[in-house]
Structure 1
Amino acid sequence: MGIVFFFDKGLLAMGNILFISGVSLTIGPKSTMQFFMKRQNFKGTISFGSGFFVVVGWPVIGMILEAYGFVILFSGFWPTLAVFLQRIPILGWVFQQPFIRSFMDRYRGKRVPV
């Protein structure tokens, strides 16, 4: 909603809080802290966390920092996402086409270069 309303600072901050709360409720507070404090996720955590606070003053810069941090943090979930997308009943047919499947297989198991 914050982006739809032209980067409204309040809505962006509320979305950030709800995102962190949702992750905590999904995997638990201890696992959330372990995930964000892993050494390999440290760069993404710093970027996402700084964007979390910068969004209040400069929303566009904050969203860019958060997007970069999000990609770095969750790039390890690409293989799981790829398998999930290929198994969706109707939409999965698109992701099983040879060109798209070769593209997905090329990046399966690799992290985004940091």
Structure 2
Amino acid sequence: MWDISETQKIGAAVAAFGGVLIFLGVLLFFDAGLIAIGNILLIGGGVAFHGINNTGRFFAQRRRIPGAICFFVGVAVVFLKWPIIGMLIELFGFINLFADFFPYLISILRRLPLIGTILNAPGLRTLVDRITSGATSPV
């Protein structure tokens, strides 16, 4: 189906483990050490999966530079032992970086059995459509 190299497989596994560590760090009342290690693994895994050139091009796009700056400043703030503030800054940067992908994600989630029923509810559908109206939807 997909031809994935060994480096990409390792990168996906490292990024997934980084996501798990970030989740555990949040569950353990914003443990700065777990979140910092998770950030390193998540970023490193993403670079290993996509390649350094593609990752650099993604973050260096003119419209994504403010989001990239916020994301990496948030990572630095987490390293400085301010995990809650750092995670909020990272979240803002993440939303700015990946806002173009949200309509695609919503269209995929709407096709799932339980989540799709919830997202297609009349009031929630209008709200989600209004939030994601800034980008084009594939459907």
Provide the secondary structure at the position in 1 that maps to 2:66.
helix
Matches within 5 A, 1:1-114: 1-57=24-80, 58-110=82-134
Distance 2:30 2:122 in 1: 39
Once the 2 structures are TM-superposed, how far is the Cα of residue 50 of structure 1 from its aligned partner? 0.9
State, as a whole percentage, how many aligned pairs show the same letter: 41
For the aligned residues, what is the CA RMSD?
Answer: 1.8
Distance 2:133 2:74 in 1: 27
Contact 1:47 1:65 in 2 (8 A): yes
User: Residues 26 and 83 of structure 1: is their aligned pair in 2 closer, same or farther, counting only changes over 3 Å?
Assistant: farther
Contact 1:78 1:109 in 2 (8 A): no
User: Residues 98 and 26 of structure 1: is their aligned pair in 2 closer, same or farther, counting only changes over 3 Å?
Assistant: farther
Distance 1:37 1:12 in 2: 25
Q: What TM-score, normalized to structure 1?
A: 0.83
Greater share of helix = 2
Once the 2 structures are TM-superposed, how far is the Cα of residue 79 of structure 1 from its aligned partner? 0.8
